[in-house]
């Protein structure tokens, strides 16, 4: 994978994480790079759960990436909410 392929992978992963953030109640703290990291980890989680199902864009299977990112966004929002309640 070259640098352009990696950049495309980051963009697709970030968009998938953004879609997951819109679907699941909760939010990803941070900006584009945090969304890209959540998307990459979400793609890994989703591919582990579902395999390479559905269309791919830039080497990222879209359906598992969105599902995995949604699971990760949900877990991050639960953890973030729990730590905020503890501090208050």
Q: Which residue in the block uniquely carries the two structure tokens 């699971």?
A: 71
pLDDT digits 0-9 by tens, 5-62: 888 888 888 888 888 888 887 666 676 777 778 778 888 888 888 887 888 887 778 8
Q: Supply 45's token pair.
A: 């989680």
Domain that holds residue 79: 3-87
Q: How many helices (H) and strands (E) does the chain have?
A: 3, 2
Alpha carbon distance 51, 29 (integer Å): 28
- Please give the model's pTM, rounded to 2 decimal places: 0.77
Q: What is the pLDDT of residue 88?
A: 59
Which pLDDT value is given to residue 47? 82
Count up the domains in the chain and report the number. 1
Q: State the pLDDT at residue 10.
A: 81
Model confidence pLDDT, tens digit, residues 55-82: 888 777 888 888 888 888 888 878 877 7
Phi and psi of 56, rounded to 5°? Answer: -120, 145
């Amino acid at each position: 994978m070259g640098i352009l392929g990696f950049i495309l992978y980051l963009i697709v992963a970030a968009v998938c994480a953004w879609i997951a953030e819109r679907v699941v109640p909760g939010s990803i703290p941070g900006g584009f790079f945090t969304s890209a990291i959540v998307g990459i980890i979400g793609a890994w989680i989703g591919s582990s759960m579902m395999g390479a199902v559905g269309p791919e864009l830039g080497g990222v299977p879209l359906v598992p990436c969105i599902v995995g990112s949604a699971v990760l966004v949900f877990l991050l929002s639960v953890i973030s909410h729990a730590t905020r309640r503890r501090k208050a």
